Structure 1
Amino acid sequence: MWNPIHWAWMIGCLILIGSTGGVSAAEPAAEAQLPNFVIIFMDDMGYADIGPFGAEGYETPNIDRMAREGRIFTDFYVSQAVCSASRASLMTGCYNVRVGIFGALGPGAQIGLDPQEVTLAEIVKQKGYVTSCIGKWHLGHHPKFLPLNQGFDEYFGLPYSNDMWPYHPTSGKNFPNLPLMEGNRVIDPEVTHEDQNMLTTWYTERAVSFIRKNKDRPFLLYLAHSMVHVPLHVSDKFRGKTQRGLFGDVMMEVDWSVGQILDTIRELGLASRTLVIFTSDNGPWLSYGDHAGSAKPLREGKGTMFDGGCRVSCVMWQPGTVPAGTVCREPVMTIDILPTIAYRINAQLPPHKIDGKNIWPLIVGEPEAKSPHEALYFYWGDALHAVRMGKWKLHFPHEYPTLGGQPGGKDGMPVPYERAHIGLALFDMEKDPGETQDVAAEHPDIVAQIQRLADAMREDLGDSAKKMKPRGARPVGRLEEGDPRFHWKPGQPLDVEASYP
């Protein structure tokens, strides 16, 4: 389903001139050589939750092989360490503050990603790609915000987090039943524990089927796993298989899923022209203890803009294009995926401002390639918490949630966070990735330089901590009169089709 508001932009896209002649790895692809793209996006997976980044108590052999045959990115970031905000940035190439998506949208939300934003799926549609979104969407659950109205041809999955249901450990009475959707329709109005046990399997089967069905045309597959967000669920084939308990079992099943997808790509002879990206929406939800992952050696986790929350493990794979067994240590972000894919296929960028940059030289390991960003900016909500410039990261004074060294919860029950405060603090992320040693006093020139960059960003996207309004932010999408909508309320059966009023 193509959004008509993009027609003017699409007409401009039609006049693009495709490249001709031979194509090197660092150049855009010619029309006859359009690559496929697979983005596997985990939920609440910690930095150290896969083998190449130090997982303990379970094995991830398929992701390990992916890393040996591909490239790991050690300093890969998300724009904000929470579900909807992070996904908005991946889809639009923008800081979430620019597109008005904050926090984690729930079943009562009347907002979503504005259809006037240009998504990654709409970028590749310029070149005739077939597109699929499988798994957790979380950018608005009403039809105008769902994937079919954002450039995707297919959608199957949960419209938001899998804990937004009556069985939530602390807030269950606030949630209606959890729906499983296909397209714009609910196909299961009451997802059960047994259903959740099968989510990873169902998502994987759908992903493999999509790849097989479209092996002869360029495709974009966005597979957004519901795991390892709590409540953790795993199929019988992996239950009890690891020393790490349920969390390890779930990660082993996710690794199996990655293997199924990569094996299918190999079997169909698509490996040399398919870029696969494996990463996460944010770090681990540490208050859930043994049902959460690990951000080691980074500080804190989800819900903070310390690196444990916003720095995620990332592996990229495309044999013959992405150099095997290599490491990129340059700071980049999910906002860079959209403009990089646009560059790769010679597609036109959105007509409005985006924040991401082309990182293709880093992906293919060009000698001396550097991050295209002068700095990366880390907002929490609409307050600017930190800026990373090269190896330096400057935190501005702010509060944050922490366990304060205490253990997290057990068996799916969280423990409460404490509130802590950090003042103006500078960290050398090369020497001190755990953000433990404030070196601001030793480097006043670096502090001043980053503060100048921050002031310029505040003029654009604002900073509530400074009582500055954004000038460059665009409106979030809102339900308007006449828009079909779902009427989901706690304790009531779900309507399976949207309606108005």
Structure 2
Amino acid sequence: MFLKIIRLLLFSLLLTKNILAIQDSSKTNFIIIFVDDMGYGDLGVFGHPTIQTPNLDQMAYEGQKWTQFYSAASVCTPSRAALLTGRLPIRSGMASDINRVLFPDSVNGLPSYELTLSEILKEKGYKTAAIGKWHLGHKKEFLPTNNGFDYYYGIPYSNDMDAINNFNYWDQYKGEELNSKNYNVPLIKNTSVIERPVDQTTITKRYTKEAINFIKENKKESFFLYVAHNLPHIPLYASKKFLGKSKRGLYGDVIQEIDYGVGQIIKVLKKLKIDKNTIVVFTSDNGPWLPFKTHGGSAGLLKEGKGTTWEGGMRVPAIFWSPSNIKPAIISDTGSTMDLFSTFISIAGGQIPTDRIIDGFDITKTLFDLKRTDREVTYFYRGTQLYALRYKNYKAHFITQEAYTLNNKKMIHEIPLLYDLENDPSEKYNISSKNKDVIDKIRSIVLIHNSNMIKGKNQLINRKLIN
């Protein structure tokens, strides 16, 4: 912790004071709404035929809808580490080929040498809060309040962990384990457990309430608010007001309650007259968990879902909203959740760290001026292995594997599978035999990337691995 404070003090000396932002940088607020396991096709504005999401649809209409936006990993922990550090999770050690995520018996978390977006914004005078799922370490030293957040209220890991009774995990979609008392999941405020097991039927509503309270309390301050919903990760829960309201069943009820909460946050921003000084981003940590059938989401026209490096596993819905600042548009350039790190720091008048590799791009010019992004290459990791790579509109798969179920045989492709995502977003038609020049170019990119990659020490270990 002491070393982390020293690093932050040194880093703060490098922060610039005169970078122009959309308005006075001291008044530019940032809100990230990060949902769990929502598929690319789960919102009305992204094509779902029955789930009603009027608030998110309106956000997209007034702001920017990004149609080719990617998470940095197809499962929870590495995706969240990448979001807050702007770095591929393999660099921080928050990716593993054994334990894919952190568990209640995990011993580590996000390393103290990593700089988070919240830490950098806090150094710029921002009030910071994390509401919801953390999943970057549940021990006190790894919680949000030791990673740049002034306040934390939420569940420290996935809502399906700490199961009390033995049951077939993959049968949860049948609804047999929907009593939240079957999961001994804690609710934490700052560093103290305040409820265990948490009543998950009201958790979405409570997260929204906490978010609104934070906004009201800091309406005259610059703030960064990170709202990370545990849902629609299984097991699914919705409050009484939303149960049975969706034609898509319980999953649809959950999405519609999240949409309502987003609407409430937008409403309070407008009421307080700080909407024009606030950037709101809505996106997902990865694609839908398809093995859970009706309790999993939809990837729309994309192939596969969570746990894979096919498009359905890592391309996620993304909406950027800020009245009078973000120009309304449908953006088809590629973007990444890691880009939020560099973009927010730039807008806040800060300096992106130069003492480490940052994989996120500053996309300010796209948000404000509709200029093309600089990103030509997107990396698709599963654990610590590079499974696929996108170069411009082409995507090559070196390894393919199904989601994390019992039958997930790994397939290694000596000649990579190649798809033209502009004309074939569903990845149906392998065109590698006719595009040797593209394959050669992609292989050269991989060679350079691998030669420069310094992997962080694996942090996703538990007591069993130690023993």
Answer whether TM exceeds 0.5 for this pair.
yes
Q: Which runs of 5+ in 1 are unaligned?
A: 21-26, 403-414, 462-471, 480-486, 490-501
Residue 496 of structure 1 corresponds to: none
Question: Could you tell me which amino acid in structure 2 is paired with residue 6 of structure 1?
Answer: I
Aligned to 2:133: 136
Deviations 1:68-123 (A, max 9, x none): 11000001001110000100100100001111112221101011100220001011
Distance 2:166 2:251 in 1: 18
Q: 2:160 aligns with which of 160, 163, 166?
A: 163
1:226 CA drift (Å): 0.6
1:190-269 equivalences under 5 Å are 190-191=197-198, 195-269=199-273
In the other structure, the counterpart of 1:53 is 46
1:313 to 1:168, Cα distance in 2 relative to 1, 3 A? farther
1:380 is matched with 382
Residue 108 of structure 2 aligns with an amino acid whose one-letter code is I
**Following superposition of structure 1 onto structure 2, how do residues 94-173 of structure 1 map, counting pairs within 5 Å?**
94-102=87-95, 103-166=100-163, 169-170=167-168
Aligned ranges for residues 258-297 of structure 1 at < 5 Å? 258-297=262-301
CA distance in 1, matches of 2:326, 2:78: 29
Deviations 1:237-295 (A, max 9, x none): 00001111101111110000100100011111011110000000000000000001100
**Aligned residue type for 1:95:** L
Alignment pair present for 1:452 and 2:434: no
Once the 2 structures are TM-superposed, how far is the Cα of residue 8 of structure 1 from its aligned partner? Answer: 4.3
CA distance in 2: counterparts of 1:17 and 1:304, whole angstroms: 40
Please state how far the C-alpha of 1:32 moved relative to its aligned partner.
5.5
| Residue in 1 that maps onto 2:392 | 390
Do 1:87 and 1:138's aligned partners in 2 also have CA atoms closer than 8 Å? yes
Q: Deviations over 1:27-70 (max 9, x none)?
A: 53565653100000000000001111012222100001111110
Does 2:411 match 1:421?
yes
The question of whether the paired residues in 2 share the 8 Å contact of 1:28 and 1:343 is answered with: yes
Amino acid across the alignment from 2:336: M
Asked whether the equivalents of residues 82 and 89 of structure 2 are also in contact (C-alpha less than 8 Å), the reply is: yes
SS at structure 2 position matched to 1:106: coil
2:34 aligned residue:
41
Question: Distance between the aligned counterparts of 2:34 and 2:166, measured in 1?
Answer: 23
- Does structure 2 retain, via aligned residues, the 8 Å contact 1:29–1:345? no
Secondary structure of the corresponding residue to residue 66 of structure 2: strand
Matched with 1:76 is: 69
Deviation at 1:168, TM superposition (A): 7.1
The match for 2:81 among 88, 105, 116 is: 88
Partners of 2:267 and 2:2 in 1: how far apart? 34
Question: Separation in 2 of the partners of 1:15 and 1:383?
Answer: 34
The residue that corresponds to 1:329 in the other structure is: 332
Q: CA RMSD in A?
A: 2.4
What displacement does 1:365 show? 3.8
Distance 1:245 1:30 in 2: 43
Q: For 1:269 and 1:31, how far apart are their aligned partners in 2?
A: 15
CA distance in 2, matches of 1:158, 1:274: 26
> How far 1:127 moved relative to its partner?
1.2
Match of 2:432 in 1: 440
TM-score (norm 2): 0.90
Q: Distance in 2 between matches of 1:434 and 1:365?
A: 30
Partner residue in 2 for 1:185? 192
Q: Is the 8 A contact 2:107 2:463 kept in 1?
A: no
Does the CA-based 8 Å contact 2:25-2:349 persist in structure 1?
A: no
How far apart are 1:356 and its partner, in Å? 1.1
List, as ranges, runs of 4+ consecutive aligned residues in structure 1 with deviation greater than 6 Å: none
Q: 1:340 aligns with which of 338, 343, 346?
A: 343
Equivalence map 1:281-320=2 (5 Å): 281-320=285-324
Going from structure 1 to structure 2, the CA distance change for 1:85 and 1:478 (only over 3 Å counts) comes to closer
- Conserved in 2, the CA contact under 8 Å of 1:73 and 1:329? yes
Task: For 1:86, give the aligned amino acid.
Answer: S
Shift of 1:19: 2.4
Q: Tell me how far apart the structure 2 counterparts of residues 474 and 52 of structure 1 sit (CA, whole Å).
A: 38
State the partner residue of 1:468: none
Equivalent pair of 1:6/1:116 in contact (CA under 8 Å):
no
- Would you say the 8 A contact 2:42–2:300 is kept in 1? no
Normalising by structure 1, what TM-score?
Answer: 0.84
Question: Aligned to 1:59, what secondary structure does the other structure show?
Answer: coil
CA contact (8 A) 2:70 2:334 kept: yes
Q: Give the C-alpha shift of residue 233 in structure 1.
A: 0.1
> What's 1:7 paired with?
6
Contact 2:15 2:351 in 1 (8 A): yes
